[in-house]
Amino acid sequence: MRRLLPLLIGAALLSAQPPPDIRAWWVAYVDIAPASRTAAIAAVKRYREASRKDEGFERIELFEQAARPAHFCIIETWANNKDLDAHAASANVRDFRARIDSMRLSDYDQRPYKTLSLSAAHNDGSRATFVITHVDIGGQGTNAADLLRKLAEASRKEEGNLRFDVLQHAMRANHFTVIEEWQNEKAIEKHAGSPHTKEYRNLLAPISGGPLDERLYRAVE
């Protein structure tokens, strides 16, 4: 029995751990001709409604950069890679891209991601302020994933934080997308000056592969 006890304890600990998050993500950026802004928003909404019928659909979020109309970020969440792959081959995706291609000023920059750290819940339909950041790691010596997890865990405890998600590129482990949701810009300013944010940025600077690409967004409902 004494020999079995450590094995039983280990099995109990493993069973108590939550299963890994296997959701698959698309993060896309696109700049639309100002005259086509309304049409582009309508195209995304039509695409989202059609996508709801696909297996594994969870959500498609549309964000517009603050003070920069027609600069959009589109974030898609799917149950797993198999469902996302099936969706990617659908006529709905081809139709949507054809519509957007006729309006865009930039490339439709879409990349696959996986979950690194997610908030417990999301607030659909929020009028809060979002911060979406692309983090590119170029140096060695620091575990960037652990650094971002630590930042996310501390930031979720801050007053005014509604969401703090970290995604990791599915094929390039040194690229991350951070999605923050805050009640207002005052909460964002307080977060920027917090000790854990300063520590994160000080540790990030020596290993960063480029300037921190951090932008304010509003959700487009």
Q: What is the mean pLDDT of residues 189-202?
A: 93
Residues 144/176, Cβ–Cβ less than 8 Å: yes
Q: What is the pLDDT of residues 133-168, one digit of tens each?
A: 999 998 765 689 999 999 999 999 999 999 999 999
pLDDT value at 45 more than 80: yes
pLDDT value at 221 more than 90: no
pLDDT at residue 17, as a whole number = 61
pLDDT at residue 206, as a whole number = 86
Tell which residue, 221, 201, 219, has the closest CA to residue 211: 201
pLDDT value at 9 more than 80: no
Tell which residue, 90, 30, 97, has the closest CA to residue 57: 90
- The band of 120, judged by pLDDT with boundaries at 50, 70 and 90, is confident
Q: What is the CA radius of gyration of the chain?
A: 19
Distance between alpha carbon 89 and the CA centroid of its chain, in Å? 22
pLDDT value at 5 more than 80: no
Q: What is the pLDDT of residues 11-39, one digit of tens each?
A: 444 445 667 899 999 999 999 999 999 99
Q: What is the pLDDT of residues 78-88, one digit of tens each?
A: 999 999 999 99
Quote the pTM value. 0.88
The residue with greater pLDDT, 26 or 124, is 26
Q: What is the mean pLDDT of residues 199-206?
A: 88
The residue with greater pLDDT, 21 or 125, is 21
Tell which residue, 134, 151, 132, 131, has the closest CA to residue 203: 151
Sign (positive or negative) of CA dihedral 133, 134, 139, 145: positive
pLDDT at residue 11, as a whole number = 47
pLDDT at residue 122, as a whole number = 66
pLDDT value at 6 more than 80: no
Q: Does the domain spanning 24-219 belong to CATH 3.30.70.980? A: no
Q: What is the mean pLDDT of residues 169-194?
A: 95
The residue with greater pLDDT, 142 or 173, is 173
Where is average pLDDT lowest: 46-60, 91-105, 194-208? 194-208
